[in-house]
Amino acid sequence: MGSDWFEFTVNFIKMILIFLMMVQIVPLLVWVERRGSAFIQNRLGPNRVGPLGLMQLLADAVKFLTKEEFVPARGHSMLFYLAPIAAMIPATLALAAIPLSVPIHVEAFEWLGQNWGPYVFKFQGYDFGIGIVFVLGVSSLAAYALLLAGYASNNKYALFGALRASAQTISYELAMGLSIVGVILLFGTFSFSEMVTAQAHALSFSFFGQPVEISWLPNWGIFYQPLGALILFAAMFAEANRLPFDLPEAEGELVAGYHTEYSGFKFNMFFIGEYGHMLVASALMVIFYFGGYTLYPWLTPATVSSWFADLSPTKASLFTALVLHVVLLLKIVVFLWIFIWARWTLPRFRYDQLMDLGWRKMLPWALFNTVVTAIAILVMRHQWGQ
Amino acid sequence: MSQLLPVLLLAAFVTVFGAALMGLANLLSAKAKKNTVKGETYECGIPADTSGSTKVPIKFYLTAILFILFDIEIIFMYPWALTYGDFISSGYGIYAFSAMAVFIAVFVFGLFWEVKSKALEWE
């Protein structure tokens, strides 16, 4: 995590900031969701508390904190308190492994009579070089939180909701994992930052051994993996338990699913987990298929850092990272909006249709995508007749 | 191990953060008298006679077992996908592809058999 205390502290604060960013985005998204749904349904939505109803977020937070603490008499109180915390952990750990911008290079400097640096601070919590595998592994832990909540509530509806949630999560994880194989085939790496670097130039590929370049298009994954992108995005909806895949909390059948017995801040923590998953899903979509924190031809690490050429190297590196971070955030916001938009547009599936879609349609299509990608890469890149 | 240290630190921080917030909510929250009816399991007003439902349909176990099988098979494709480009550039692309084709054929056969034996049917 660092060779000295300065580096260690900065890295620790960085991780906490990423976590707090995730927590802070929840009230904002709730506001967007309520206002957005209101406009989609031709209503007004919350507009009384503060300008545009924005202070509604604060009012909600106060209400969450002052609600009566309730633990069902027959529930397992220890597990009941543990489940909401467990719901926040997977999304946080996954988000911290995703690069949010280019690394910041800090020159050696003198401070408190000591020499420090030079340092390279990555714009992410930690980097193992096996980003995808770590994110997949950690985010599938989310099923445990839901099962824990359902079991600890000791309530029929909660248990059924939790069972549905876990069965659905693991079923769609297959299609998700398989559609990512196409991405790995394409870029030949597990590292997110290397994928983004590969997308930061003009669309270029080898066509039967002949290099082809289309200079007005960026080298984004979506041009090579349209089917994979569609499957991954649909599977992400199911992973995050969002409509049209929100069977675990189908209120017509299960009251509120696994969080039937939860109220106040404990309920809010499940929300943080769910929106955290949406955030991770959007970030993955952007990094795999839409160029990550770059936007060729205008905003690549090279062009942005040339804007700050007359500043000191440390400052130039910092500003470049911040500009590219904003690019990533704007792209993520688009996907978050699609998540919300779909919720108020599509009806809910029936449970058998849901499992059918996951196992018998999306899994074979993801497999098809993998095989076609492998054949295409072989045909295009192989040195035929040599 | 030192690579995993930040992960453990972050997980510990989230746990402390969550516990602190729940503690704060406990301090600030409205206090109600103990009420046996209120503490009952939510059941549309009918008194609950069982200690919760611990019966789990067998279907869910089957799905979980199938998931483990297929998930492990998919994980085996990851290292192959990672090295596929290297195989092609060193001229062994056809070998790498046909080796995986055999594996995928077994995968497809397994999936086909699951569908055929109605293990994936939900009513």
pLDDT-derived band at B50, boundaries 50, 70, 90? low
Answer yes or no: is pLDDT of A261 > 80.
Answer: no
Residues of chain B with C-beta less than 8 angstroms from the C-beta of A185: 81, 84-85
Q: What is the dihedral of CA A222, A228, A230, A232, to 10 degrees?
A: -110
Q: In terms of CA atoms, which chain B residue is nearest residue A13?
A: B10
Interface of A with B in 216-275 (CB under 8 A): 255, 260-261, 264-266, 269
- Residue A12 is predicted with a pLDDT of 86
Average pLDDT, chain B: 82
Nearest partner of A356 among B115, B80, B23, B97, judged by Cα: B115
For range A258-265, the mean pLDDT = 79
Asked if the model's pLDDT at residue A245 lies above 80, the reply is: no
Q: What does the pLDDT look like over A12-34, one tens digit per residue?
A: 888 888 888 888 888 888 888 88
pLDDT band at A229 (very low <50, low <70, confident <90, very high): very high
What is the pLDDT at residue A372? 92
Provide the pLDDT for residue A332: 92
Q: Are A357 and A174 in contact (CB under 8 A)?
A: no
| Res A1 pLDDT > 70 | no
Q: Check: CB of residue A179 under 8 Å from CB of residue A277.
A: no
Which pairing describes strands A210-218 and A202-207: parallel, antiparallel, or unpaired? antiparallel
pLDDT given at position A371: 92
A248: closest CA among A273, A226, A212, A222?
Answer: A273
Mean pLDDT of A133-151: 86
**In this predicted structure, what is the pLDDT of residue A79?**
86
Does B53 have pLDDT greater than 60?
no
Long-range contacts of A242-246 (CB under 8 A, 24+ apart): A242/A274, A242/A278, A242/A339, A242/A342, A242/A343, A243/A342, A243/A343, A243/A346, A243/A348, A244/A342, A244/A346, A244/A347, A244/A348, A244/A349, A245/A168, A245/A172, A245/A349, A245/A354, A246/A348
Mean pLDDT over each residue of chain A, to the nearest integer: 84
pLDDT over 60 (residue A114): yes
The distance of A338 to chain B (nearest Cα, Å) reads: 28
The answer to whether A179 faces chain B, any CB pair under 8 Å, is no
In angstroms, rounded to a whole number, what is the distance separating the alpha carbons of residues B107 and B104? 5
pLDDT of residue A347: 83
Closest CB from A16, A74, A84 relative to B18: A84
Contacts of A112 (CB under 8 A, 6+ apart): none
pLDDT value at A308 more than 70 = yes
Rounded to two decimals, the pTM is 0.88
Tokens of A174: 């297959």
Question: What confidence score (pLDDT) does residue A365 get?
Answer: 92
- What pLDDT is attached to residue A272? 87
For residue A251, what pLDDT is reported?
A: 66
Q: How would you class A245 by CB atoms within 10 Å of its CB: exposed for 0-12, middle for 13-18, buried for 19 or more?
A: buried
What is the distance in angstroms between the Cα of A150 and the nearest Cα belonging to chain B? Answer: 10
Lowest mean pLDDT among A2-11, A267-276, A337-346: A2-11
Mean pLDDT along residues A29-47: 86
pLDDT of res. A126: 81
ipTM of the complex: 0.84
How far is the alpha carbon of A274 from chain B, nearest alpha carbon, in Å? Answer: 15
Give the confidence band of A248 by pLDDT, cuts at 50, 70, 90.
low
Min CA distance, A1 vs chain B (Å)?
A: 7
Q: Given this model, what pLDDT does residue B48 score?
A: 67
In angstroms, what CA-CA distances link A193 with A97, A189, A326, B66? 11, 10, 16, 34
Put simply, the answer to whether A181 touches B120 (Cβ < 8 Å) is: no
pLDDT band at residue B92 using 50, 70 and 90 as cut-offs: confident
Residue A209 has pLDDT above 60, yes or no: yes
Question: Which one has a higher pLDDT value, B23 or A241?
Answer: B23
More confident call, A179 vs A247: A179
Q: What is the pLDDT of residues B57-85, one digit of tens each?
A: 788 888 888 888 888 888 889 999 999 88
- Residue A334: pLDDT band with limits 50, 70, 90: very high
Residue A137 near residue A230, CB atoms below 8 Å = no
